[in-house]
Amino acid sequence: MDIDKLFKVPNLPPKRKLPDNPSPDFLKKMRMEKEAPPVPSSSSPSNGSAKGKRSVTMEEVTDEDEDMDREFAPGGDADYFAEEDDEGRFFGGGLTSEQKEILNIFDNAGGEGNQDDPDALSITSIRRMLLRFERAVNKNQDQRSKYPNDPTKFIDSEADLDSAIKALLPLAQAPVLAYPELVRSGTVTLLIGLLSHENADIVIDVVEVIHELTDEDVGNEDEDEDEERTAEEALKILIEGLLENSILELLVDNLTRLNEAEESDRQGVFHILGIFENILGFNPQLSTQLVSKTSILPWLLNRIQSKTHDENRGYAAELLSILLQNNQANRLELGKKDGVETFLKVLSQYRRRDPVDADETEFMENVFDSLCSALSETPIKTLFLAAEGPDLMVLIMKEKLQSRSRAIKTLDYAMSGTSGTPSCEAFVEALGLKTLFSALMGKTSKKQKSTAPPPASEDTSHILGILSSLFSNIPSESPARIRLLAKFVEGNYEKVDKLLEIRDNASTRLKLVDSEIAVEKQALLSDGEEITSEEEDTWYLRRLESGLFTLQTVDYILAWVAMEDDGIRAHLLQMLDRKSLTMQDIIQTLRMFYDNVDDEPEPPPTARASEDRAPSQKEILAALIAALDPSTLNDGV
């Protein structure tokens, strides 16, 4: 017996190497090959040495793969397989039959979840949304009334209410449909009622929604003019509905309730201030109602006195400037609430330091603007003087920091008009003349000489305004007036030369605009159209903005100094001659000024007979023209 033959390894087909990560197709193919009976190959030898062996050609494998694809992955989708094992799994994505069914349900449900898409809001979906909100409110009120001392009983309804409130935010994208429905359905009343909710988080949610709904840009994206007008009408309906439910009073009450040490409460305060801004932006007349019926003014004055600066402090200052702008009642109320004293206290911190960033700079400017608006009223000027406002403004001017320009503007407002006479005298007593003329001449300190820019045109305009008020209000022959005139004499009349330089610049700008207006007039006349008084007024305003106002103020000051000091008059005539000008050019400007000054109301008989009555602007101009040109005495100017 041949032992080697006995233990000889039979000739078996070569084993196929199993890859590390076999694919489902590969495993399926291996299983089918194992179960299939041996088939004689057409390419095997004719002798019996190859009998019983199975050989697979490439062509057969390709056909078999196509059959498997057809049975194993219907539709060619590799994630959904036709055959699974006994446990409901398959060799593909790892999904069971139950998971596949769930995915199919979601796939078939496709577009059913888009009902709350703002772009697809309909009146039906809006009403459904409002009904869901109403049910959430009622359920929460019911749970709270039943279990007032057990929060665990109503915590779920509170969470549902929170979600229902936030779900109203998309309504701002469809104001034309949503806002009338909000008012008609009574949802506005429910919403405002939640401002008294025990949970401050619910109140903050409501405030955020109202802030979004009242924004002036609601629904205005990509809309034409007609649609925009319709959106404004819808916003008017909503705001009227809010006002009918005492929203102003409830919001102010919540300002004192919220604690800004908490981030969420701080955001709530921000949104409340934003609602006030939105409502006043839509109807500025409501500012009187807001101040008279609520305690908003004391809260704002207290808020701007905060030691640390944040966005709510800046917002409070901005809202103050809005409330005081063009509103006499609010300005007088400010005086009663010690608002002038508060403004000066806040502004005093910028005497020796600049704001740290742009936000604080805006805050500072809003406080200055609020003070300037208030100073349009005579009682506020009296309070400003009593609080030593002129002294503080002079100190701020001396430091030459960012606040200097605003201090100059404030003094211009405080010293203007006949009621500004006491402030003019206080300004001179506070040694303000030296600081004022230093600003006019553009002089800087040694530290700032290389970097400081020349005075801004706005600063120059307000400096001229202050000088005009000083000459109009300070009594003749008084020590203060003598000190004022002396400033124009010193330095070889350099202040007069500076005024003439400003005059030249203003004249140049005015000539350009006059040429433009002449072309427009000629065009109208060529077309056979008549020039109306409205067009004349419009052109005059353009001329004022383009240099005429500056020219009038400068010539008004030059007329005063020329009339009161012979040395200044001689120097002025000499300098005018060098520029091919005469005193008649100044007189002509004053005549134009006189013709366009509004006539002041006739004083009562007792005041008319009194020698202490201050002359009007028109009377002063007539006297100046007569003094410079005696030939006009009998012409009635």
Res 395: pLDDT: 96
Q: What is the pLDDT of residues 424-464, one digit of tens each?
A: 999 999 999 999 999 999 865 444 444 444 445 788 999 99
Q: What is the mean pLDDT of the chain?
A: 81
Q: Closest Cα to residue 637, out of 576, 592, 575?
A: 592
From 6-10, 92-96, 271-275, 287-291, the region with the lowest mean pLDDT: 6-10
Distance, CA of 448 to CA of 614 (rounded, Å): 42
User: Residue 329: CB partners within 8 Å, gap ≥ 6?
Assistant: 288, 291, 292
Q: Taking residues 154-161, report their average pLDDT.
A: 88
Asked if the model's pLDDT at residue 531 lies above 50, the reply is yes
Q: What is the pLDDT of residues 472-488, one digit of tens each?
A: 999 988 999 999 999 99
Res 477: pLDDT: 87
Q: Taking residues 490-516, report their average pLDDT.
A: 94
Say what the pTM is: 0.76
3-state secondary structure at position 16: coil
Domain boundary assignment for the chain: 3-92, 117-245, 497-632
From 48-57, 88-97, 396-405, 423-432, the region with the lowest mean pLDDT: 48-57
Is the CB of residue 247 less than 8 Å from the CB of residue 214?
no
Q: At what angle do helices 566-578 and 549-564 cross, to 10 degrees?
A: 130
Q: Taking residues 212-228, report their average pLDDT.
A: 67
Asked if the model's pLDDT at residue 506 lies above 90, the reply is yes
> How many percent of the chain have pLDDT more than 90?
59
Asked if the model's pLDDT at residue 122 lies above 90, the reply is no
The phi, psi pair for 43, rounded to 5°, reads -100, 0
For 423, 436, 480, the CA distances from 431, given in Å and listed in that order, are 13, 9, 10
Confidence of residue 296 (pLDDT cuts 50, 70, 90): very high
Is the CB of residue 158 less than 8 Å from the CB of residue 140?
yes
Confidence of residue 108 (pLDDT cuts 50, 70, 90): low
Give the DSSP H or E segment for 69: helix 58-72
Asked if the model's pLDDT at residue 63 lies above 70, the reply is no
Res 147: pLDDT: 81
Asked if the model's pLDDT at residue 156 lies above 70, the reply is yes
Res 527: pLDDT: 81
Q: How many residues does the chain have?
A: 637
From 8-12, 204-208, 365-369, 494-498, the region with the lowest mean pLDDT: 8-12
Question: Which structure tokens are listed for 241?
Answer: 């509905």
Q: Closest Cα to residue 603, out of 594, 593, 611, 595?
A: 611
From 44-58, 128-142, 374-388, 603-617, the region with the lowest mean pLDDT: 44-58
Question: Which structure tokens are listed for 374?
Answer: 């208030």
For 374, 387, 526, 631, the CA distances from 343, given in Å and listed in that order, are 11, 10, 56, 50
Distance, CA of 266 to CA of 268 (rounded, Å): 5
DSSP class of residue 513 equals H
Res 113: pLDDT: 41
Asked if the model's pLDDT at residue 67 lies above 80, the reply is no
From 140-144, 156-160, 216-220, the region with the lowest mean pLDDT: 216-220
Q: What is the pLDDT of residues 542-567, one digit of tens each?
A: 999 999 999 999 999 999 999 999 99
- Measured from the Cβ of residue 305, the count of other Cβ atoms closer than 10 Å reads 11
Q: Taking residues 411-417, report their average pLDDT.
A: 95
For 69, 173, 215, 330, 347, the CA distances from 275, given in Å and listed in that order, are 64, 17, 8, 19, 27
Q: Taking residues 296-304, report their average pLDDT.
A: 96
